[in-house]
Each structure stands twice: as structure tokens, then as C-alpha cells.
Structure 1
Amino acid sequence: MEMPTHIVAVGGIVEDEHGNILLVKTIHGGWVFPGGQVEIGENLMDALIREVKEESGIDITVSNLIGVYSNTSTHKWYDGITDVPTKLMLDFRCKPVGGELAISEETSESCWVAKDTVMEYFTKTAFRTRYETYLNFDGNIKYMEYVTDPEFEIKLNRTV
């Protein structure tokens, strides 16, 4: 029996005391909120704290889970060769607690953006959709299944 392979990733929507949202510009994907893959043996919170620090230079505390997303499309990685398996993403609301804006091997820019102008930065529908979940968060965790390839399509959208 072949074991299934999934990518587990975390995303942090970091809002400062002035209502600004932390964004990073990635080398491959344009503007996004920071996050990334959970490494082997790493818990979700530690992974998110590490990823936000690596990508933006900002230290955070993780507040609460707001959304769980399954990207069930199979597509090629940026190299055009590697198959990307099903991806499970968990988004959390976060608060900054220190650090200075910086860039990394994965990011070319990082900045604080007014909450009501964040949508103007996103070019990927998946990030727009996930940010809308943050804006509309009412205490109920959103679960969504979508595919991004060949085009973005929501297949399931509910609260859990």
C-alpha cells in the first residue's frame, strides 16, 4: 500500500495595533501573507512563527485558527517538473511582538499594508479568498476545498 503524500502549510495574517496587515512579496507568487510548509517533527505554531520570521523579519504570537483549506488540484511546481500533491493549509490570526521588516531567499519585499487595501496587492484568487475569510471571521472556523489548476474553483465552502 502506498502512503498518501500531502503538504501541510500554515499562513499567518498578522495585524498590528494600527490595523495594518503584514505582507511579503514572494519570488514566485507575488504578494501574499507570510507562511509556508510545516517541517518534519515541527508543530503548527512553531512552523508559523518560524516562517513569518524567515520571510518578513517579524516576530509573532499566534492568536487563533480562522480557516482550513484543501487545495486538491495536482499541478507542476515552479520548476515545471515536480508534481505538487494535495495541500492542506491552516490560517491563523497573529499579532506582531517584535522584529524588523526584512527579506529572505523567498521574499523580495515585506511591508505593512492598511487592512482595507490588502486585496489590491493579491494577484492569486486563493489568497484573496483566504483573506476574505479573515475579514469576515465571526468565531466560526471556515473550511474550504478548492483547486487552483487549471483555474481557481471552490468545491466546498462551509464552517466547521
Structure 2
Amino acid sequence: MAMPTHIVAVGGIVENEQGEVLLVKTFHGGWVFPGGQVEAGENLMDALIREIKEESGIDTEVSHLIGVYSNTGMYKWHDGITDVPTKVMLDYVCKPVGGELAVSEETSESCWVAKELVLDKITSMAIRTRYQAYLDFAGIVSYMAYETKPEFAVSLKRKI
């Protein structure tokens, strides 16, 4: 039996003292909160701090876990060839501690957006759902399993 292959990813909802949330505009996914894949041998906190810095220029500290997600769908990457395996994603609240807004190879814009206006910018249903979990967070972590292709569909949703 083959070993299962998963991508482990982290997402950071970075809120500043003015109540604004950090968003980045990606070339493939539009506006999102920053995050990305955990590299081999890297811990979750270091991966998240690195991804936020790479995508936005902002230095952060990780505060607390708010959501765990599984994208159980298998689909083709943007190249139309590469298979994307199941993803496990962990979302955290983060605080900015320095840096300046910047862009990267993956992002064309980065900005601070009023917390209540973030959903107006995000078009991805998966990212919208995960951001809503942040807005609704009351101390209990959310777990959700979903597929994004061919369309967004939730198969399991609960508090853990």
C-alpha cells in the first residue's frame, strides 16, 4: 500500500491595532489572507511567519489556532498537468510586529483592509468560509472538510 500524500499548509489572519486585516492579491486566487505550504522539516509557526513575510513583507508573531481544514478533493494544478493531493490547512490569528507592505513572486498587491470589508474583496468560497470562521471565532476551533473542484462543497463541519 502506498503512503498517502498530503500538502500541509498554514494561513494567517493578521489583524493590526486599527482592526484591519492583512490581505494579499495572488496571481491565481485573487485576494486572500497570506499563507502557504509547510516545507519538509519546517514547523508550523516558522512556516506561517515565513509565508506571511514572503507574500506581504509583514513580520508577525503567531497568536492562536482558529481553524483546521481538509480539502479532500484531488484536482489539477494551474498548469493543467500536476495532480494536487489532499490538503490539510491550519489557520491562525497573528499579530504584526514589523516590516512594510510588499509584493512577491506570488502576489501583485498587499494591503490592510477594515475587518468588516474583507469579505467584499475575497472571491474564493473556501477562503471566504475560512475568514468567516475567524469572524465567528469564540474560543472553539472549527474543523471543516470540503472540496473546491468542480465547485465548493462542504462535507463535514464541526467544532473541535
TM-score (norm 1): 0.99
2:143 is matched with 143
Distance 2:42 2:72 in 1: 23
Q: Which amino acid aligns with 2:108?
A: S
1:114 is matched with 114
- 1:27 shift after superposition: 1.0
Residues 5-154 of structure 1: matches in 2 within 5 Å? 5-154=5-154
RMSD: 0.4
Distance 1:73 1:122 in 2: 21
Structure 1: runs of 5+ lacking an equivalent: none
TM-score (norm 2): 0.99
Distance 1:148 1:107 in 2: 21
Count residues with an aligned counterpart: 160
Q: Which amino acid aligns with 1:155?
A: S
- 1:81 shift after superposition: 0.4
- 1:122 shift after superposition: 0.7
- 1:129 shift after superposition: 0.2
1:156 is matched with 156
CA-to-aligned-CA distance 1:122-147 (integer Å, 9 cap, x gap) = 11000100000000000000000000
Q: Which amino acid aligns with 2:152?
A: F
Q: Which amino acid aligns with 2:136?
A: N
List, as ranges, runs of 4+ consecutive aligned residues in structure 1 with deviation greater than 4 Å: none
CA-to-aligned-CA distance 1:58-103 (integer Å, 9 cap, x gap) = 0000000000000000110000000100000000000000000000
SS in 2 for 1:41: coil
Structure 2: runs of 5+ lacking an equivalent: none
CA-to-aligned-CA distance 1:22-79 (integer Å, 9 cap, x gap) = 0000011100000000000000000000000000000000000000000000110000
Distance 2:27 2:125 in 1: 17
